[in-house]
Amino acid sequence: MKAIALVTVGLVGSIVPTATAAKIKINTSSKLQRIDGFGFSQAFGRASEFQAADPELRKKALDLLFDTKTGAGFSIIRNWIPSTTALSIEPNSPGLASNKPNYTWDGDDEGQVWFTKQAVSYGVKTIYADAWSAPGYMKTNGDEATPGYLCGTTGHTCSTGDWRQAFANYLVQYVKFYEQEGLDITHLGFLNEPDIEVGYSQMQISPNAQEAISFIPTLYETVKRAHLDLRLTCCDAVGWDSQANYTNHLMATGMQKYLDIISSHMYSDDATFPLKTNLPTWLTEAGVETSTAPFTTTWYDNGALNEGMTWASKLATGFVDAGLSAYLFWEGFEIGQNQSASHLVDVLGDEPEPSSVYYAFTMWSRFIRPGANRIAVSGALPNVIIAAFQNNDKSVIAIFTNSGSSSQLADIAIPAGKKPSAQVWLTDNDHRVSEINFKRRGSSIEVAIPPNSVITVKFSSRL
Ligand SMILES: *[C@@H]1O[C@H](CO)[C@@H](O)[C@H](O)[C@H]1NC(C)=O
Ligand SMILES: *[C@@H]1O[C@H](CO)[C@@H](O)[C@H](O)[C@H]1NC(C)=O
Ligand SMILES: *[C@@H]1O[C@H](CO)[C@@H](O)[C@H](O)[C@H]1NC(C)=O
Ligand SMILES: *[C@@H]1O[C@H](CO)[C@@H](O)[C@H](O)[C@H]1NC(C)=O
């Protein structure tokens, strides 16, 4: 009811008359990439931290992250498949690769079982489980936390044998343990940033991805034999440019028949161009590198990496220029970690508090639901990225990301064949996903887009 009333509100609001409005047309007959959703992780103990929080505060934080009406409506979570001995489902080496494994399950998985159940209770259906490494004894270096390769992959032989089948079995077993908990993992990955060397769980692949290419078919067959409905990802590279290279090698060797998603991070390079693949591409981890910038609620000051407006631009560029189907931030909830902007919600006083980055995501994730398609838009405004989407319920979402220092005026044609109600939300330095008024002009609406802001427009059919 509120939406219908707003349409007839007319001239109320702070619309400053400016030059003529640019005409924007959304083409609901066009169909660009599918959108799978938006998400984050609680890996590396953050799920346990979340679980252990005060129940009232915890509920508020969950609402902020997952509620589709009042929160960000995140629709994907990314869990890690631990390879550290204390947490692994196969802590002890069976000796030889061909020996029978001894799996173990604590039903907790560092709080990730609890966290996954919470996400599912809010309607999240996309559960991505990703291994940072195989257990150390399956690797050339015998250690899960130093650089090394999976034994048996191209170019890497080990005295204990070829561990490819054992690693595939181990990954499938992890998924089965979740099944026991009543949780369906939907996406499975086996790498995390294999293109850099770090001192925590990790596994390398070569620039030509030969190790991944010699493992993926085994993983695919193993998943199939287990009758699991799982989609496989590769390779969660540290940045878009190196994932672009991996993708070229994966496609040239026919891996598209086994894989479902090409996945990348953005630490070394942002997603700014489409990868050469017909598979959907996901940005599976994005963040502000630890200790380079503190947690902040400032939307826009100078374009620093921890500001919401910076992330608004990254999201718009990712979906429009790189053709992304999903965008995941690193962590969701942490407590008292304001030195770092690697998470979206913190507790600095008594209450969970979103960072400005959280609001950049919310302008997209609350409105564009899984299964939507991006659709074409015509018309342009200086310094504004325009993206449009159609949800499965036929509602149309248009997002205007104005990274310029002047206000712009858009005359947005109401999508054809509809008698829609329209609603408009604004995030800028003074607003956080605030519903605002606009002018209706016959078959279009006129919306002012302030400097350094995001405007989200929703057209939905009248009920
Ligand atoms: C809308 O998109 C469809 C499908 O791509 C295309 O055939 C049609 O010409 C487009 N309409 C306009 C007005 O651009
Ligand atoms: C399997 O591992 C568990 C510990 O995770 C251990 O208690 C048990 O003895 C092992 N069983 C075999 C047959 O090695
Ligand atoms: C991608 O491959 C090209 C060509 O081999 C190479 O020059 C470039 O350095 C690679 N980029 C990355 C980030 O690996
Ligand atoms: C983090 O919070 C503490 C306590 O509220 C405060 O003293 C400190 O200045 C904050 N640090 C940053 C980087 O915001």
Q: What string of DSSP letters covers 374-426?
A: EEEEE---TTEEEEEEE-TTS-EEEEEEE-SSS-EEEEEEPPTT--EEEEEEE
388 in a structural domain: yes
The ligand with the least distance to the CA atom of 338 is 4
Distance from the CA of 463 to the center of ligand 4, in angstroms?
A: 47
Share of the chain above pLDDT 70, in %: 94
- Residue 20 DSSP class: P
335 in a structural domain: yes
Using CB distances shorter than 6 Å, the residues near ligand 1 are 27, 29-30, 376
Q: Are residues 365 and 397 in the same domain?
A: no
Tokens of 159: 């005295």
The count of structural domains within the chain is: 2
Of the residues 371, 403, 421, the one at which a domain ends: 371
Q: Are residues 387 and 421 in the same domain?
A: yes
Q: Output the pLDDT for position 40.
A: 98
Q: Which amino acid is at 310?
A: T
d(CA 424, CA 438): 7
Q: Which domain holds residue 203?
A: 37-371
The ligand with the least distance to the CA atom of 376 is 1
Q: Are residues 128 and 232 in the same domain?
A: yes
d(CA 369, CA 279): 19
The ligand with the least distance to the CA atom of 25 is 1
Residue 218: CB within 6 Å of ligand 3?
no
Residue 298: CB within 6 Å of ligand 4?
no
14 in a structural domain: no
Residue 339: CB within 6 Å of ligand 4?
yes
Instruction: Identify whether the C-beta of residue 172 lies closer than 8 Å to the C-beta of residue 111.
Output: no
Indicate the top mutation candidate among 25, 28, 30, 374 to test ligand 1's pocket, ranked by most ligand atoms within 8 A of CB.
30
Query: How many C-beta atoms lie closer than 10 Å to residue 281's C-beta?
Result: 25
CATH number of the domain encompassing residue 438? 2.60.40.1180
Residue of the nearest CA to atom 14 in ligand 2? 102
1 in a structural domain: no
Indicate the top mutation candidate among 88, 100, 104 to test ligand 2's pocket, ranked by most ligand atoms within 8 A of CB.
104
Residue of the nearest CA to atom 3 in ligand 4? 338
Residue 294: CB within 6 Å of ligand 4?
yes
Q: Are residues 334 and 431 in the same domain?
A: no
15 in a structural domain: no
Q: Which region holds residue 40: left if phi is over 0, alpha if psi is between -120 and 50, else beta? A: beta
d(CA 2, CA 9): 11
* Straight-line distance from the first to the last Cα atom of the chain, in angstroms, rounded to the nearest whole number: 9
Q: Which residues pair with 153 in a beta bridge?
A: none
Q: Are residues 107 and 183 in the same domain?
A: yes
d(CA 197, CA 70): 40
* Residue 258 CA, distance from chain mean position: 22
- Residue 100 DSSP class: P
Contacts (Cβ under 8 Å, ≥6 apart) of 434: 425, 426, 427
Q: Are residues 388 and 274 in the same domain?
A: no
Tokens of 224: 């199939």
Distance from the CA of 89 to the center of ligand 2, in angstroms?
A: 11
325 in a structural domain: yes
d(CA 308, CA 325): 21
The bridge status of strand 396-402 relative to strand 384-390 is: antiparallel
Q: Are residues 354 and 412 in the same domain?
A: no
Q: Are residues 26 and 54 in the same domain?
A: no
108 in a structural domain: yes
Query: How many C-beta atoms lie closer than 10 Å to residue 444's C-beta?
Result: 18
Query: Which mean pLDDT values do the consecutive 10-residue runs of the chain (463 residues) have?
Result: 34 52 96 98 98 98 98 98 97 98 98 98 98 98 98 98 98 98 98 97 98 98 98 98 98 98 97 98 90 90 96 98 98 95 94 98 98 98 98 96 98 81 97 97 95 97 60
Question: Residue holding tokens 């015998």?
Answer: 142
* pLDDT tens track for 168-195: 999 999 999 999 999 999 999 999 999 9
Identify which of 78, 443, 99 has the alpha carbon closest to the alpha carbon of residue 263: 78
CATH number of the domain encompassing residue 212? 3.20.20.80
Residue of the nearest CA to atom 4 in ligand 1? 30
Using CB distances shorter than 6 Å, the residues near ligand 2 are 91-92, 102, 104
Ligand 4 atom closest to 349 (CA): 5
Query: For the whole model, what pTM was predicted?
Result: 0.94
Q: Are residues 382 and 300 in the same domain?
A: no
Of the residues 312, 337, 371, the one at which a domain ends: 371
The bridge status of strand 126-131 relative to strand 76-81 is: parallel
Residue of the nearest CA to atom 8 in ligand 4? 338
Q: Output the pLDDT for position 37.
A: 98
Q: Are residues 258 and 132 in the same domain?
A: yes
Q: Output the pLDDT for position 4.
A: 34
Q: Are residues 362 and 379 in the same domain?
A: no
Q: Output the pLDDT for position 418.
A: 58
Of the residues 348, 371, 394, the one at which a domain ends: 371
Distance from the CA of 186 to the center of ligand 1, in angstroms?
A: 34
Indicate the top mutation candidate among 205, 208, 241, 265 to test ligand 3's pocket, ranked by most ligand atoms within 8 A of CB.
241
Instruction: Identify whether the C-beta of residue 74 lies closer than 8 Å to the C-beta of residue 65.
Output: yes
Average confidence score pLDDT of the chain? 94
Indicate the top mutation candidate among 196, 205, 238, 242 to test ligand 3's pocket, ranked by most ligand atoms within 8 A of CB.
242
Residue 245: CB within 6 Å of ligand 3?
yes
Q: Are residues 264 and 346 in the same domain?
A: yes
11 in a structural domain: no
User: DSSP string spanning 293-325?
Assistant: S-----S-SS--TTSHHHHHHHHHHHHHTS--S
